[in-house]
Amino acid sequence: MMKIFKYLVILVVYFTLGWAAESSDKWVPDGIIKGEEYSHTINLVKDRLVLHYKIDSTYIYFGIEVKSLGWSAIGFEPDKGMKNADIILIFIENDSLKVLDSYSTGIYGPHRSDKELGGQDNILDVGGRVDSTGYVVEFKRMLNSKDKFDKPLIKGKELTLIYAMAKSHNIKKKHDLYRGSIKIKLVD
Q: Does position 163 have pLDDT exceeding 60, yes or no?
A: yes
Percent of residues, the chain, with pLDDT higher than 90: 74
Contact between 85 and 103 (Cβ < 8 Å): yes
Distance CA 35, CA 168 (A): 30
Confidence band for 25, pLDDT divided at 50, 70 and 90:
low
Q: What is the pLDDT of residue 95?
A: 86
pLDDT for 61-118, tens place per residue? 999 999 999 999 999 999 999 999 999 999 999 989 999 999 999 999 889 999 999 9
Task: Report domain extents, the chain.
Answer: 29-185
Q: How far apart are the first and last CA of the chain?
A: 50
Contact between 65 and 33 (Cβ < 8 Å): yes
Q: What is the pLDDT of residue 35?
A: 87
Q: Does position 12 have pLDDT exceeding 80, yes or no?
A: no
Contact between 167 and 68 (Cβ < 8 Å): yes
Q: Does position 130 have pLDDT exceeding 90, yes or no?
A: yes
Classify domain 29-185 by CATH architecture: Sandwich (2.60)
Q: What amino acid occupies position 106?
A: G
Q: Does position 11 have pLDDT exceeding 90, yes or no?
A: no
Distance CA 152, CA 162 (A): 15
